[in-house]
Structure 1
Amino acid sequence: MANRSNKVVLSARVDPYLKAALELLAASKKEKIVKLLETFLENGLHDMSVANPFLSKVDKAEKTSFMNVFTAIWSDDEVIYKLRAGVLGPQYAGETAWRQAMVVTGDHYFKGTDDLYGDLNGLSEKWGYKAEYNYFLDMEKVRSEWPLIEGYVSFIENNKPFEPAYEDYKRMLEQSKAK
């Protein structure tokens, strides 16, 4: 049966007094706890400030809401979203996503005509956001090799200091399958 909901499940442990407070607020507002939690999460993400990665180097010190950055990079296409976040650097996406993005953007192998950032989901015009560099990629090739890229980065992270090139890693995998 297909999942008809656009929602995902999030599990969290909270102190009993916070749960009681949520229940009380939900009852007083005649709202569901889940709706309150969604509102709190979104408000909290708006309240978190980060350096704006979409301004000129001179303006990099300017802070913006984390949600503004997230809105600029969000895509329903998981590979595009992960690449957009990863390219911004580990301070925005963590080490693993950054390494995955560097595999894709650091090699001519994935070059193509698809603009990774495009108009930043309309924020280029709305707020003057501009990616520091335009990445033009062959997204079909990237998508087809995404599981390999994830495996390669995992291999690198688990086998330091051994760091074969991506193409060498692919050859190693092929040779291991041939045996």
Structure 2
Amino acid sequence: MANRSKKVVLSARVDPYLKAALELLAASRNEKIVKILESCLENGMNDRTITNPFNAPRKDLGTISFMVAFTAIWSENETLYKLRAGTLGPDFAGEELSMVAMVINDDKYFDGEFDVFGDLNGSTEKFGFTPRMQPRVDLALVEKEWPIVEEYVRFLANNKPLQPGYADYKNMRAQSLAK
């Protein structure tokens, strides 16, 4: 996977012996600790297998590396990446992100021409993967309203059994903000 132009800071607490091992490995290879750490993280995620979240032409592709699936959905556009991940379901992306994606994919309000998955970043040709769903959205609208949809999903989770539709929630929100 190509390096992104921007790096992000990751803070983690590790056992002292792991830190010492990391420092020793970096020194022995004359590499920076960050490079060794990135390599270890990517290798670790390559070693983790998951149930394939895509349709696959062969039965032996029933489980795949997490990184194979991740590479298929990755985008520099954070909203698109999160929508793709959430659309794959809670086993892949967790409950909240899956609910956000479900609201967007199921509400006609967000319908548009943009193919959310496209060719799965080349995984369609490489592995024969196809998405189980093929949502089309107005990506500009999704990007604009993503934070509101996240609020809506949290609202639903915190106010059971109240289940207003997304349009009703936006009206309630607008009235509340107008006061």
TM-score tier (shorter): over 0.9
Whole-angstrom CA distance in 2 between matches of 1:178 and 1:25? 58
1:55 match: secondary structure:
coil
Whole-angstrom CA distance in 2 between matches of 1:144 and 1:24? 47
| C-alpha distance after superposition, 1:118-170 (max 9, x if no partner) | 00001111111100121111111111111111111121122223221111110
Q: Which letter does structure 2 place at the counterpart of 1:6? A: K
Whole-angstrom CA distance in 2 between matches of 1:141 and 1:26? 46
Whole-angstrom CA distance in 1 between matches of 2:158 and 2:130? 35
How do 1:28-177 residues align onto structure 2 when only pairs under 5 Å count? 28-56=28-56, 59=59, 62-177=62-177
Relative to the length of structure 2, the TM-score reads 0.92
1:6 match: secondary structure:
coil
| C-alpha distance after superposition, 1:4-60 (max 9, x if no partner) | x61100000011111111111111111111111000000000000001111259849
Query: Which consecutive residues of structure 2, in runs of 5 or more, have no partner in the other structure?
Result: none
Relative to the length of structure 1, the TM-score reads 0.92
Matched residues, number: 175
Query: Which consecutive residues of structure 1, in runs of 5 or more, have no partner in the other structure?
Result: none
Whole-angstrom CA distance in 1 between matches of 2:113 and 2:60? 28
Contact kept in structure 2, 1:56 and 1:132, CA below 8 Å: no
Worse-superposed segment, 58-67 or 76-85: 58-67
Q: Percent identity at matched positions?
A: 57
Whole-angstrom CA distance in 1 between matches of 2:129 and 2:164? 36
Structure 1 segments, 4+ long, off by >3 Å, are 56-61
